[in-house]
Structure 1
Amino acid sequence: MPTGATSEEPARQPADAPGDDGTPAPTAIEDPPDPVSVLRPVIAVITTVGTPLTMITALLLYFGWARSDAQSQWMGIEVSLFRFTTQDYVLRSISTLYLPILATAIIGIAWLAAHRVLTEMIGRDGVTGTVRVICRAAMFGGLVVAILGVVLPPMTRRWEPGTVVWPLMIAVGTAVAVYGRHLSRQGQERTRPRSVIARPPDVLEAVLIGIVIAAAVFWAVQGYADIVGRGYAQRYEQSVSTLPRATAVSESPLGIDSPVVRTEQITTGPKTLYRTTGLRLLAESGGRLFLMTEGWTIQKGSIIVLEEDQSVHWQFSH
């Protein structure tokens, strides 16, 4: 090549242009979708419906309030008088919710194991006859269970466990039906390109499904809390004698009007004090003492609410 001559760069061929031997060139492979773009609709749904930790905390708080409210109403007292804090409600939930939470965790672990097996089958063999049967059984079976959870409550109003069973049927049935549909779609999307942009109807559908399941779960928690609250109230009725005996010494009579509460004068030098007996300690909350009279029952007996006062000295014993 003579000096000073410039070499020209060969012209680029289009991706699908034939090669030198006449064979078509391979089609260019598209870059995989950005993971952030794929997860964006999922993140949007999670932030809309709530994270699992937020949901669990909300359930614990709601259960604690509902249980305390049912117990208080059964005992003839308003729950707001206790002045419970958010922490108090959560702590009152843990003692009776650990078994349902443990059972839910075990079911979740089993579901994840089954989901992993089904996903591997779909990824390896596609939607086989077995997978297709599982998807249809999940969709139609879950739908039937959810419909029964809506239809049966008016017919079984006197069946107390129904307040827990029917909402759980709605929640579980909806979740199973949606999962079966998800598996079916996963098999279909295996052979077609996946869109990285979620359609608004899909996001709206996910939000509505989350609302249905969350509402059903809170309904079930309400029914379970009512049963537990009434059980605690009845347990107090049977075990009043095991509560700490409360004796008050005050500078003036406490003014408790009950046939089983006795007040006697105590003279100590120039002072006259008053001793009050016949009470049992129920609880202490929000700067208040909640006392039950001896032999308290739901039909008779009183619950006394007293503000904590430095002029009143209390002695508790068994």
Structure 2
Amino acid sequence: MARANHGGAAGEQRRHPPREVTAALVGLTALGVLVVYFGREWARAHARALGLHENVLGLSAADQLARGVAALAPLALLVGGAGLGWAWLDRRLRPWWRRTGHSPVLSQVTSVLAGSWLLLPMLVWVVGRAAPGPARVLLPLSFGAGLLVSLYVLHLEHVVRRGRAEPRWRHTLVTALTVVVVSLSLLWGAKNYADLLGRRWADEFPARLADHAQVVVYSAERLHLTAPRVDEERLDAEESRYRYRYSGLRFLDYAAGRYLLVSDGWMPQFGVVLVLPANDPSVRLEFVRDSRVP
């Protein structure tokens, strides 16, 4: 009978994975959604900086994921490092908090930290007047971070020290609302971070244009490329498949089977982005490493 019970318990454990595994799967799914969302917002910010609609880029979910990982890595490392630091501090703070008496100083500190859900966003808003760019990213994150700090301090005060277990329904409700607020905080912060990167990219792009590879376009028919500083040359070779050559172009991006090119005279005010299909046999592209164009 004992073996049967043991086998039943083992089968029950196999059917229901541990909470740690479930939490890890939920966390990885949420992280993937956040990265894809950030990649989409980043592509949208780039498109707006170029004066394009986001659908022109035609980025797939895989493209958005790759770009989101590349750009969101510093923020993800920061959040991950903060989480690990919190876990390390929690192991040392719980015993100390349990042994500490009800000192007036600690009570005042607890009261202040319990209001972090409001105080932290207010602090970021005030400091953000001197640095509005970083504040656009930190302000949304401060709502989620402040709420987590408030709930953690209240947990230490009422559960760890006083041993007051809150009702199950309240714990479930608080957990659900916390997940909603923190998720919205991360999405809002990711959107503002993408906009900030898009604006910075647009400001720095003209100065970095010379670093992009030059492109020479050969075409069987006249393309009427009228971008600033683009030179059109008619080829006289009768046996040649291509009759026109365009120089003064720079490679911008490749997405959805299309090449995105800009001219050497691109500026945010009047710049032109050229979109050429990659599978068109009547058009050939040559990428030039140095400044010499044939």
Look up the SS of the partner of 2:115 in the other structure: helix
* Conserved? CA contact 2:117–2:150, under 8 Å: no
* Conserved? CA contact 1:61–1:90, under 8 Å: yes
Return closer, same or farther for 1:188/1:152 CA change in 2, 3 Å cut-off: closer
Deviates more, 1:93-102 or 1:274-283: 93-102
Q: TM-score, normalized by length of structure 2?
A: 0.79
Q: 1:226 aligns with which of 195, 205, 224?
A: 195
State the distance in 1 between where 2:69 and 2:106 align: 36
Q: Which amino acid aligns with 2:147?
A: T
Match of 1:129 in 2: 101
Corresponding position: 1:111 with 2:86: yes
State the distance in 2 between where 1:311 and 1:141 align: 67
Return closer, same or farther for 1:261/1:229 CA change in 2, 3 Å cut-off: same
Return closer, same or farther for 1:310/1:289 CA change in 2, 3 Å cut-off: same
Match of 2:5 in 1: none
Q: CA deviation at 1:202?
A: 2.5
Q: Which amino acid aligns with 2:36?
A: L
Q: CA deviation at 1:134?
A: 5.6
Corresponding position: 1:63 with 2:38: yes
Corresponding position: 1:235 with 2:220: no
Look up the SS of the partner of 2:132 in the other structure: coil
Q: 1:86 aligns with which of 61, 84, 88?
A: 61
Q: 1:167 aligns with which of 125, 133, 140?
A: 140
Match of 1:8 in 2: none
State the distance in 2 between where 1:265 and 1:89 align: 39
* Conserved? CA contact 1:118–1:131, under 8 Å: no
Q: Note the 1:126-205 alignment, pairs <5 A.
A: 126=98, 128-129=100-101, 137-138=109-110, 140-144=112-116, 146-147=118-119, 149=121, 159-187=132-160, 190=163, 199-205=168-174
* Conserved? CA contact 1:288–1:305, under 8 Å: yes
Q: TM-score, normalized by length of structure 1?
A: 0.73
- Across the aligned residues of Structure 1 and Structure 2, the Cα RMSD in angstroms comes to 3.5
* Conserved? CA contact 1:135–1:181, under 8 Å: no
Look up the SS of the partner of 2:133 in the other structure: coil
State the distance in 1 between where 2:133 and 2:69 align: 23
* Conserved? CA contact 2:209–2:264, under 8 Å: yes
State the distance in 2 between where 1:188 and 1:129 align: 9
Q: CA deviation at 1:76?
A: 0.8
Q: CA deviation at 1:148?
A: 5.1
Q: CA deviation at 1:250?
A: 1.4
Match of 1:286 in 2: 256
Return closer, same or farther for 1:274/1:142 CA change in 2, 3 Å cut-off: farther
State the distance in 1 between where 2:74 and 2:107 align: 30
Q: Which amino acid aligns with 1:73?
A: R
Q: Which amino acid aligns with 2:186?
A: V
State the distance in 2 between where 1:147 and 1:246 align: 53
* Conserved? CA contact 1:139–1:177, under 8 Å: no
User: Identity of aligned pairs, percent?
Assistant: 24
Which consecutive unaligned segments of at least 5 residues does structure 1 have?
Answer: 1-33
State the distance in 2 between where 1:216 and 1:135 align: 29
State the distance in 2 between where 1:102 and 1:152 align: 21
* Conserved? CA contact 1:153–1:166, under 8 Å: yes
